Amino acid sequence: MRILHLVHRSWPFHGGAERYVMEHAAAGLERGHSSVICTTDAWDMSWLVSRSGLHIRRRRDIHRGVDIIRFPVAHPPFQNVLRGLSRRFRQCGKDRFFYPNPFIPELGKWLSADRGFDLVHANAMPFMLYHGWAYCRRRGCRLVSVPHANVGERFRRVDGMDYFGGCQERILKESAFVSAQSSFERGLYLDLGIPQERIHLSGSGIDPEEFRRADGNAARIRLGLEGPLILSLTAHSSQRGVKDMLEAFRAITLRGVDATLVLAGPVLPDAMEHLRLLVPGDPLLRDRVTVTGYVSKEDRIDLLQAADVVMLPSRLDCFGIVLLEAWMLKKPVIGCWSGVMPDIIDDGGNGFLVPFGDPVTLAHRIELLMRVPSLGASMGESGQRLVLGNWTWDRVTDRFYRRLAQCFAGRHAE
């Protein structure tokens, strides 16, 4: 079977959706399929909507045998006006063009021809699901949709997250099946009227082999840090709890906890504004907060090994692979009542869950883990057992291709 994988970014950028797609593409090759990834040239998410971010100039790469084709993001003049008009008047515009979905006309042109794909595996952002759906409608092939749609906590949605305002409902209903990352996300699709038997509960994973050479001392030397480390490793934004983490860290510092807060990963503009407002003028934070910027795959594993506590108080993550990575190294984690986290974190058992926007509870949980190391060690060991039993890439991709074989039984079955 010839499979087209669509995603907004790909290797060499290392992120959750990007890794998810690459692992499924590589697993397809191992099963005798051909895999092509089509993506944009964005490195920073800001490149999707402006020229302020970094981008990748190479148009093609081959990684792990997978052909990666990049299409340039267009930055037309008066882009916000054009986006508004496109949302109103173009097909599927309301979700296809909501911020930060980009303009990528060359991808549309490329997909207007018959490329011989039997299946399109469309991921993460509405504009990619739209292009996959449009290609499948023209060519009569099958579509698997993976929206990675997280709209906040179960009973507190994120305002303005317009995933389903245009054609998304129709696209999902016309897909061979839809992959959900969590039971909460599955519930969103059930509410749209998608039959339960056509929703695949997928999740993400890790490769245990990558963690055998984790070197926490190397991370400490690179950053010039000593002593306990509290780590957040994500693309930081206000919806991922940056302000809450800073306030919680300040509170535990006042109570005598001696540690460094490491914010590792890209910092989006709204999060940078919090850092500028809260850190430079505060002596409690100024010398105790370290911001690294983008972290490579190898460096992130070393950083996780160096950490005493790993937190993700985010309501914007469908899954949060960093939690699995932390558990693989037996680190205690703090997550949020959002996305998959309530599915995999047993609050008080293998980690803690906190409400989004609650720095007081977050501070209490961090302080408890810092003052009672045995509790964190027990949580980390429990988390590692969960990962090895359920959330390795071998297990996740095997579940996907078994489901795919059922859909193609008698037609393109393995």
Give the CA dihedral 401, 405, 408, 412, nearest 10 degrees.
Answer: 90
Domain annotation covers residue 412? no
Residues 288 and 215 in one domain: yes
Residues 213 and 114 in one domain: no
Q: How far apart are CA 333 and CA 323, in angstroms?
A: 7
**Counted domains in the chain:** 2
Q: What is the pTM of this model?
A: 0.90
| Prior bond of 12 cis (ω within 30°) | yes
β-strands 119-123, 60-63 pairing: unpaired
Whether the CA torsion 122, 127, 132, 136 is positive or negative: it is: positive
Neighbouring C-beta atoms of residue 278, cutoff 10 Å: 17
Residues 263 and 347 in one domain: yes
Residues 279 and 160 in one domain: no
Low-confidence ranges of the chain (pLDDT < 70): 154-162, 410-414
Catalogue the E-assigned strands of 167-311. Answer: 177-180, 199-201, 229-233, 260-264, 289-293, 309-311
Domain annotation covers residue 320? yes
Please give the full DSSP string across 139-205, using - where no structure is assigned: HT-EEEEE-----EETTEEPTT--TTSSSHHHHHHTSSEEEESSHHHHHHHHHTT--GGGEEE----
Both tokens of 37, joined, read 């990834």
Q: How far apart are CA 133 and CA 148, in angstroms?
A: 16
**In this predicted structure, what is the pLDDT of residue 155?**
65
Domain annotation covers residue 286? yes
Both tokens of 361, joined, read 């509870």
Residues 318 and 222 in one domain: yes
The answer to whether 182 and 336 have CB atoms below 8 angstroms apart is: no
Domain annotation covers residue 174? yes
Residues 243 and 328 in one domain: yes
Domain annotation covers residue 192? yes
**In this predicted structure, what is the pLDDT of residue 157?**
64
Domain annotation covers residue 414? no
Residues 234 and 181 in one domain: no
Residues 234 and 374 in one domain: yes
The answer to whether 250 and 287 have CB atoms below 8 angstroms apart is: no
Residues 66 and 151 in one domain: yes
Domain annotation covers residue 256? yes
C-alpha distances in Å from residue 128, one per residue of 7, 13, 19: 6, 18, 16
Residues 323 and 396 in one domain: no
The answer to whether 396 and 204 have CB atoms below 8 angstroms apart is: yes
CATH label of the domain that carries residue 275: 3.40.50.2000
Both tokens of 385, joined, read 């057992």
Q: How far apart are CA 150 and CA 183, in angstroms?
A: 11
**In this predicted structure, what is the pLDDT of residue 13?**
93
Q: How many residues does this entry show for the chain?
A: 414
The answer to whether 320 and 301 have CB atoms below 8 angstroms apart is: no
Residues 97 and 235 in one domain: no
Residues 242 and 172 in one domain: no
β-strands 34-40, 60-63 pairing: unpaired
**In this predicted structure, what is the pLDDT of residue 161?**
52
Domain coverage including residue 312: 208-390
The answer to whether 316 and 276 have CB atoms below 8 angstroms apart is: no
| Prior bond of 266 cis (ω within 30°) | no
Domain annotation covers residue 413? no
